Amino acid sequence: MAEQLVQIDNKPPSGEWRDPKVEFRKGVFCYSAQPKNVTYLGMANPRQWQPFDADWKLPSDWKEIILEGLKDRLKKYRSFRLFMDICVRCGACADKCHFYLGSGDPKNMPVMRAELLRSVYVRYFTASGRLFGAGRELTEDVIKEWFYYFYQCTECRRCSVFCPYGIDTAEITMIGRELLNLIGCNINWILEPAANCFRTGNHLGIQPHAFKDSLEFAADELEEITGIRVELPINRKGAEILFVMPSADYFATPHYFTLLGYMTLFHEIGLDFTYSAFASEGGNFGLFTSHEMTKRLNAKIYEEARRLGVKWILGGECGHMWRVLNQYMDTMNGPADFLEEPVSPITGTRFENARSTRMVHICEFTADLLYNDKIKLAPKRNDDLAVTFHDSCNPSRAMGLLEEPRYILRRACNRFYEMPENTIREQTFCCGSGSGLGTDENLEMRLRGGFPRANAVKYVKEKHGVNLLACICAIDKATLPTLMDYWVPGVQVAGVHELLGNALVMTGEKERTTNLRGEPLPAEVTHA
Amino acid sequence: MSVVFAAAGPVTLLGFALEGQEATAGQILLWVAVPYAALTIFLAGFCYRVARWAWSPVPFRIPTTCGQQKSLPWIRPASLENPSTGTGALARMTLEILLFRSLFRNNRAELHNGQHVFGESKLLWLGALAFHWALLVIVLRHLRLLVQPVPAFVAVLARWDSFFQIGIPTLYVSDVVVVCAGLYLLLRRWHDPLVRYLSQFADYFVLFLLLGIAGSGILMRYGTRVDLVSVKRLALGLATFHPVIPDGLSAVLLIHLMLVCTLAVYFPFSKLMHMGGVFLSPTRNLANNNRRTRHINPWNYAVKTHTYAEWEGEFREKIKAAGIPLDEAESGGTTSTD
């Protein structure tokens, strides 16, 4: 099957892009949102339907709703109006999108994805459209086309790096999805986590007792490996720091081993912190729904920090979570004047860059510890791993968190190799499953979208024998293993703090014979 | 907009001084009324479009970060690619606007034997940069027709531009560059199948228009040898709002002028507005200091959230059974402090 998919056809596109007809073929789209989730979130038009149905059961005034919504957003977002107006179609973005590179579908070129919406904007909101009929008429087929292509964009912002005007397709896709949500065209893989998150505090719908069970189970495992029992403060008032992570960290693999990594670290440095069963999710599928939903789901983090009376907040490894925390949280739900400017209790370092939002990325925190030699590492324990680092889209292109994770990896692993420069750092390729598209019914498109990333991993695997792909994103950890199994078998996926936890020498630990996964350590370590 | 258009013509005609010469209504229309009308539409339209962008709020601070953030003091930040200050953002914008920094990153992804290769692809950058700079030089050179005395920098610019001293009149480098680069951009749209797919009528139209303007200008300078004195009288007259229509104006000049007017009128309604828009792009002109300084959204509004009290209310028994501290007293009397 791999051979079939390699036949990626980037032949000259033909046909007329104005024709909106799309085919909802199995494997390349996501199923619709269940009515119960739409209803729970109080969103529009809950109903049973599927994208391959001929009748999408849109509300009778769907066209007015969309045009009114478009008008409203043109007024509210300079980015949106500007990006609708100034594209010159130079084509620099064309081959920068992983979905275009993997699918060869010309409407996956960022410029064309934007044009699907721009053509409607031109028809209804500009002089050339109103007077001379430029652009395209808004029809039900256009709505279906939007749905197809706006849920075939992972909002990774790679195109925006190359655009001479900084036009960001993520902005356009986000607005496009907001519009689709107004008439009830949404996908379950996004709305179910969002509904869960609204109710229980996390995407997976884990209730407080199960949250605690899960952490206890992790502590048990860690005790077996290290001989040390770590503490599990939950909803503890008066702690210095609130720690917020993506829920997958305590309920999915290989995320779980990253959690073990956090636990070893927090115990070793004696951090005064607490987990929260309420703010039990840093991720935010509202980001893939609407700006309003982002704010609704994000609110609990500051609310919980205030309730518990902590000084500041520490955030775990997650990509889109950090997009929200870095670029939206303070604006949406701040000011965080009830918190204090973050200072590392171990090193005394003041995190100036988080002075207002008062939330620090765990990689910033750990890199600072390492720089100040506050923890002891035995990188030999990772010697059976040849590691490369996948920059997650959001920490790289919406934050610039590039060196911190690399610093940790270089200290924790002896064998670290970079992928080719056009595929890392700000030019990193998405896993192909971000922004809520990581569902199994969409597998073919995910594998296609992830192809450029996998291809770069294959390169370092062949060149350096890389067998581990490190990353700092929960969606990566959930979807890269499938991608690797398919395109580059033999490469595992791990969080940066899993590798740190492997290497971390804990005070009073027993002689470790396995890594955090329970796999035997390299022979030279155990027999040294 | 149409009001401005309708008003511009008659107003100009009214203020028109004939200076004792005999000019037909047709001449006045073409040499005077149309240019003024076009200029009015250009200025009004351009300002309107830019003002409309400027008036729309920037609810979120969304720079695209293309380098290391400023975080820990011992990690060197990429102050140009990921600026953390206003000055840095200004420098980043300067690079974007003067040197097309982002376009310089361009590469070409190709599959060779199942391996992606990212080839150098600087031609688009070079072509675009050459085209825009040549256009700027040409526009500035035209100041010698519109301003008297000719500003010193314009004279210097013209001297540099004719550096090679080829032929009489000396060949301007910018003329050659604008035609070559323009043709490259045009041919690229035809030749590259991806770009051909995404190109629209408007994309070709502006290139033809600009090449037409350049071509007719070049023809006048090196071919038909226009009478420069009368051109300058015409131009200076228009520029000083004392229009005159001197003898000896050629048909090529009229074509040149009409094409320029077409461009001016078309400009505010077209993608050419990227000239103003590039300055306002929120992914480029904002500093990445999101967590350092709070960004204000002018239309931020309250939303329905799920509060801690609601959460505790729903899961109270489970929280209690798990031994996780509750906010509400066991008796159920008081509520959450916030």
Q: Which two three-digit tokens encode residue B243?
A: 């229009």
Answer yes or no: do A371 and B74 touch at CB < 8 A: yes
Using alpha carbons only, how large is chain B's radius of gyration in Å?
29
Q: Quickly count: other Cβ atoms within 10 Å of residue B147's Cβ.
A: 14
| Alpha carbon distance A298, A291 (integer Å) | 11
Most A CBs within 10 Å: which of B52, B76, B310, B311, as the mutation test of the A interface? B311
- Determine contact, residues A485/A457, Cβ cutoff 8 Å: no
CB proximity B140 to A under 8 Å: no
Q: How many CA atoms within 13 Å lie on the side-chain side of A184?
A: 22
CA dihedral A237→A243→A245→A250, nearest 10 degrees, is: -70
Confidence band, pLDDT 50/70/90 cuts, at residue B329: low
Render pLDDT for B51-92 as a digit per residue (tens, 0 to 9).
999 999 999 999 999 999 999 999 999 999 999 999 999 999
| Alpha carbon distance B98, A181 (integer Å) | 40
State the residue for tokens 């490469």. A491
Nearest Cα of chain B lies from the Cα of A505 at a distance, in angstroms, of 24
CA dihedral A150→A153→A156→A162, nearest 10 degrees, is: -90
Distances (CA, A) of A375 to A140, A364, A366, A369, A522: 60, 15, 9, 7, 22
The edge-to-edge listing of strands for the beta sheet with A241-244 is A273-274, A241-244, A312-315, A359-361
Per CB-CB distance under 8 Å, the chain B contacts of A235 are: 324-325
* Domain regions of chain A by residue span: 2-186, 195-524
ipTM: 0.94
Say what the pLDDT of residue B6 is.
40
| Alpha carbon distance A419, A484 (integer Å) | 15
In which region does residue A91 sit, left (phi positive, over 0), alpha (psi from -120 to 50) or beta (all else)? left
- Determine contact, residues A211/A277, Cβ cutoff 8 Å: yes
CB within 8 Å of A385: residues ≥ 6 apart: A413, A415, A467, A468, A499
| Alpha carbon distance B63, B160 (integer Å) | 38
Confidence band, pLDDT 50/70/90 cuts, at residue B45: very high
Helix (H) / strand (E) containing A303? helix A291-308
Q: How many CA atoms within 13 Å lie on the side-chain side of B310?
A: 10
How many distinct helices (H) and strands (E) make up chain A? 24, 7
Choose among B197, B303, B318: nearest Cβ to A17: B197
Residue A486's Cβ-count burial label (10 Å; 0-12, 13-18, 19+) is middle
| Alpha carbon distance B314, A104 (integer Å) | 49
Say what the pLDDT of residue B4 is.
43
Render pLDDT for B266-310 as a digit per residue (tens, 0 to 9).
999 999 999 999 999 999 999 999 999 999 999 999 999 999 999
CB proximity A90 to B under 8 Å: yes
Q: How many structural domains compose chain B? A: 1
Q: Which two three-digit tokens encode residue A44?
A: 């529009």
Residue (of B337, B338, B307, B308) closest to B324 by Cα position: B308
Is B338 inside any structural domain? Answer: yes
Strand partners, B120: B107
Answer yes or no: do A166 and B281 touch at CB < 8 A: yes
Is B58 inside any structural domain? Answer: no
Average pLDDT, chain B: 89
Is B320 inside any structural domain? Answer: yes
Residue (of B169, B174, B182, B268) closest to B222 by Cα position: B169
Per CB-CB distance under 8 Å, the chain A contacts of B56 are: 74-78, 81-82
State the residue for tokens 């000259």. A12
DSSP 8-state symbol, A514 = B
Q: Which two three-digit tokens encode residue A108?
A: 């996956």
Say what the pLDDT of residue A201 is.
96
Render pLDDT for B88-128 as a digit per residue (tens, 0 to 9).
999 999 999 999 999 999 999 988 888 888 988 999 999 99
CB proximity A108 to B under 8 Å: no
Contacts 24+ apart (CB under 8 A), B44-47: B44/B1, B44/B4, B44/B268, B45/B1, B45/B267, B45/B268, B45/B269, B46/B267, B46/B268, B46/B273, B46/B276
Terminal-residue alpha carbon distance, chain A = 44
Segments in chain A below pLDDT 50: 1-2
Distances (CA, A) of A127 to A98, A216, B22: 35, 63, 39
Q: Quickly count: other Cβ atoms within 10 Å of residue B264's Cβ.
A: 20
Say what the pLDDT of residue A526 is.
65
Nearest Cα of chain A lies from the Cα of B144 at a distance, in angstroms, of 31
Render pLDDT for A58-107 as a digit per residue (tens, 0 to 9).
999 999 999 999 999 999 999 999 999 999 999 999 999 999 999 999 99
Answer yes or no: do A89 and B199 touch at CB < 8 A: yes
Helix (H) / strand (E) containing A132? helix A127-132
Helix (H) / strand (E) containing A66? helix A62-76
- Determine contact, residues A173/A436, Cβ cutoff 8 Å: no
Choose among B64, B271, B311: nearest Cβ to A201: B311
| Alpha carbon distance A102, A109 (integer Å) | 11
Residues 507-526 of A with CB under 8 A from B: none
Alpha helices in chain B (DSSP H): 2-14, 25-28, 34-55, 86-99, 101-104, 123-141, 143-146, 152-161, 173-191, 193-198, 201-218, 228-239, 251-266, 274-277, 308-321
Say what the pLDDT of residue A7 is.
64
Answer yes or no: do A167 and B291 touch at CB < 8 A: no
| Alpha carbon distance A56, A280 (integer Å) | 35
> SS3 string of A443-463?
HHHHHHHCHHHHHHHHHHHHH
| Alpha carbon distance A15, A429 (integer Å) | 28
Query: At residue B330, does pLDDT exceed 60?
Result: no
Say what the pLDDT of residue A150 is.
98
- Determine contact, residues A384/A466, Cβ cutoff 8 Å: no
Choose among B53, B106, B312: nearest Cβ to A78: B53
| Alpha carbon distance A129, A113 (integer Å) | 19
CA angle A493, A496, A499 (to 5 degrees): 85
- Determine contact, residues A246/A322, Cβ cutoff 8 Å: no
Confidence band, pLDDT 50/70/90 cuts, at residue B170: confident
Say what the pLDDT of residue B328 is.
75
- Determine contact, residues A396/A474, Cβ cutoff 8 Å: no
Please tell me which residue of chain A has the smallest CA distance to B193.
A12
Strand partners, B108: B119
Terminal-residue alpha carbon distance, chain B = 54
Residues 264-323 of B with CB under 8 A from A: 269, 271, 273-274, 277-278, 280-284, 288-297, 299-300, 303-308, 311-312, 314-315, 318-319, 321-323
Query: Is B307 in a helix, a strand, or coil?
Result: coil
Residues 1-20 of B with CB under 8 A from A: 1
Range of the domain at B324: 302-338
Across B155-184, average pLDDT: 90
0.80 cut: is pTM over it? yes
Say what the pLDDT of residue B12 is.
46
- Determine contact, residues B1/B45, Cβ cutoff 8 Å: yes
CB proximity B193 to A under 8 Å: yes
| Alpha carbon distance A184, B227 (integer Å) | 67
Choose among B60, B72, B305: nearest Cβ to A328: B60
- Determine contact, residues A518/A256, Cβ cutoff 8 Å: no
- Determine contact, residues A85/B49, Cβ cutoff 8 Å: yes
Q: Which two three-digit tokens encode residue B156?
A: 């210097």
